[in-house]
A and B are shown apart, each in its own frame.
Chain A
Amino acid sequence: MPQISSVINQVQASQHAITAMLTALESIILGKPKACRLALACLLAQGHLLIEDLPGMGKTTLAHALAATLGLRYQRTQFTNDLLPADIVGFSIFDKETKRFKLHKGPIFNQVVLADEINRASPKTQSALLEAMAEHQVSIDGITYELPEPFFVIATQNPLFHAGTYPLPESQLDRFMMRLSLGFPDINAEKKMLLNATERTQQTPSGDNAERAVIITEQALRVMQNVVTQIHVSNEVIDYIIALSHVSRRAYTQQGSQQSDLEINCKPLSPRASKALLQAAKAMAFIDSRDYVLPDDVQAVFYAVCQHRLEIHPNQQLARSSTNNNSLANQVLNSVDVINPLFY
Chain B
Amino acid sequence: MIFFNAKAKHKVKESTQTKRVIAFSLHRKNAWLLWLCQCLNIAVIALELSTWLLAIISVLLAWQAFLLHNNKKQASIKAVHQNHQLRKHLDNQLQNQQNKPFTTHVSSILLTVFAVLGCIVIAIKANQVGILASMVHLLCFSYVLKAFELKNRRDFYQLFLLGLFVLASALIFRQNLTSSLITLALLIINLAVLLQLFTPVRSFFTHIKVIIMLLAQSVLLAVVLFLVFPRLSPFWQVPLTQSAETGLSDRVKPGDIANLSRSSALAFRADFGQQAVPPYSQLYWRAMVLENFDGKQWTRNKLTAKNKRVLAVNSIDTSVTALSYQITVEPSFQRYLFTLAPAISDQENKTVISHDDYTVSSEKTITQAKSYQLTSYLSAPLTFALSKENRLANLYYPQGSNPKLEQLALQLQHNYPNVQARAQAVLARINTQSFSYTLQPPLLINNSLDQFFFETQAGFCVHYASAFTFIMRASGIPARLVTGYLGGEYNGTNNILGSTGQWSSQGHLSIYQYDAHAWSEIWVAGKGWLRIDPTSAVDPQRINSGWSRQLLQEQSLLNQELFSLYQLKNIAWLNTLRLQFDALDYQWTRWVIGFTRKQQTDVFKRWFGHRASWKTALILTLSLLVSVAIILFSIDFFNRPKRATVPLKKWQLWYQKALTLLANYGLEKPAAMTVTDFTQQVQAHYPRLAIAFSRLSASYNRLCYQSLSTSEQAELLLVMQQQYHDFVHLVKSDNHKAS
Contacts and interface: CB of A to CB of B under 8 A. Distances in A.
A339 B707 contact: no
A292 B22 contact: no
Contacts of A232: 705-707
A234 B674 CA distance: 15
Contacts of A337: 671-672
A236 B705 contact: yes
B681 to A, nearest CB: 13
Given A234-B705, A234-B707, A337-B672, 10 more contacts: A4-B707, A234-B704, A255-B19, A258-B22, A292-B702, A294-B701, A295-B674, A312-B83, A337-B671, A338-B674
B22 A256 contact: yes
Given A234-B707, A343-B643, A338 B79 contact: no
Interface stretch (A39-47, A94-102, A213-221, A328-336): A328-336
B571 interface: no
Interface in A219-250: 232, 234, 236-237
A333 B673 CA distance: 9
15 contacts: A4-B709, A232-B706, A232-B707, A234-B705, A256-B79, A265-B19, A291-B706, A291-B707, A294-B701, A296-B674, A296-B676, A296-B677, A334-B670, A338-B674, A342-B644
Interface in B629-672: 643-644, 652, 655-656, 670-672
B672 A336 contact: yes
Contact of B79 (A4, A257, A291, A343): A257
A77 interface: no
Contacts of B673: 338
Contacts of A255: 19-20, 81
A322 interface: no
A313 interface: yes
Nearest to B652: A339
Interface in A252-303: 255-258, 265, 291-296, 299
Interface of B is mostly: loop
A1 interface: yes
Contacts of B672: 333-338
B177 interface: no
Please indicate which of the listed interface residues B670, B672, B701 has the most CB atoms of chain A within 10 Å of its own CB. Answer: B672
A294 B707 contact: no
A205 B255 CA distance: 131
Contacts of A4: 707, 709
Interface of A is mostly: loop
Interface string B57-84: 0000000000000000000000111111
A1 B709 contact: yes
Nearest to A312: B83
Contacts of B656: 339
Contacts of B655: 339
A299 B706 contact: no
A234 B22 contact: no
B84 A313 contact: yes
Closest 5 CB pairs of A and B: A256-B81, A337-B671, A232-B707, A292-B706, A256-B20
Please indicate which of the listed interface residues B83, B674, B701 has the most CB atoms of chain A within 10 Å of its own CB. Answer: B674
Nearest to B706: A292
Nearest to A252: B81
Nearest to A331: B672
Interface residues of B, number: 29
A336 B674 CA distance: 11
Given A255-B81, A256-B80, A256-B81, A293 B20 contact: no
Interface of A: 1, 4, 232, 234, 236-237, 255-258, 265, 291-296, 299, 312-313, 333-339, 342-343
Contacts of A335: 672
Contacts of A295: 674-675, 705
Contact of A338 (B80, B644, B671, B706): B671
A258 B153 CA distance: 13
A294 B677 CA distance: 11
Contacts of A294: 674-676, 701, 705
A299 B674 contact: yes
Nearest to A263: B19
B676 to A, nearest CB: 5
Interface string B684-706: 00000000000000000110111
Contacts of B674: 294-296, 299, 338
A293 B709 contact: no
A217 B109 CA distance: 84
A1 B712 CA distance: 11
A4 B708 CA distance: 9
Interface string B454-484: 0000000000000000000000000000000
A334 B701 CA distance: 20
Contacts of A313: 84
Contacts of A334: 670, 672
Interface string B181-209: 00000000000000000000000000000
Contact of A293 (B644, B670, B705): B705
Nearest to B701: A294
Contacts of B644: 342-343
Please indicate which of the listed interface residues A313, A338, A342 has the most CB atoms of chain B within 10 Å of its own CB. Answer: A338
Contacts of B705: 232, 234, 236-237, 292-295
Contacts of A265: 19-20
A242 B595 CA distance: 61
B649 to A, nearest CB: 10
Please indicate which of the listed interface residues A255, A295, A335, A343 has the most CB atoms of chain B within 10 Å of its own CB. Answer: A295
A234 B702 CA distance: 10
Contacts of A312: 83
Contacts of B22: 256, 258
Nearest to A255: B81
B199 to A, nearest CB: 12
B430 to A, nearest CB: 80
B79 A292 contact: no
A295 B19 CA distance: 32
A234 B706 contact: yes
Contacts of B79: 256-258
A234 B675 CA distance: 15
Contacts of A291: 706-707
A245 to B, nearest CB: 15
A342 B642 CA distance: 12
A295 B79 CA distance: 38
A296 B697 CA distance: 13
A234 B713 CA distance: 14
Nearest to B84: A313
Nearest to B705: A234
Nearest to B153: A258
Contacts of B81: 255-256
A292 B644 CA distance: 27
A246 to B, nearest CB: 14
A296 B700 CA distance: 14
A324 B673 CA distance: 16
Interface in B74-121: 79-84
Contacts of B20: 255-256, 265
Given A295-B674, A313-B84, A236 B643 contact: no
A236 B704 CA distance: 7
B394 to A, nearest CB: 79
Contacts of A234: 704-707
A318 to B, nearest CB: 16
Nearest to A257: B79
Contacts of A257: 79
A257 B655 CA distance: 38
Contacts of A342: 644
Contacts of A292: 702, 705-707
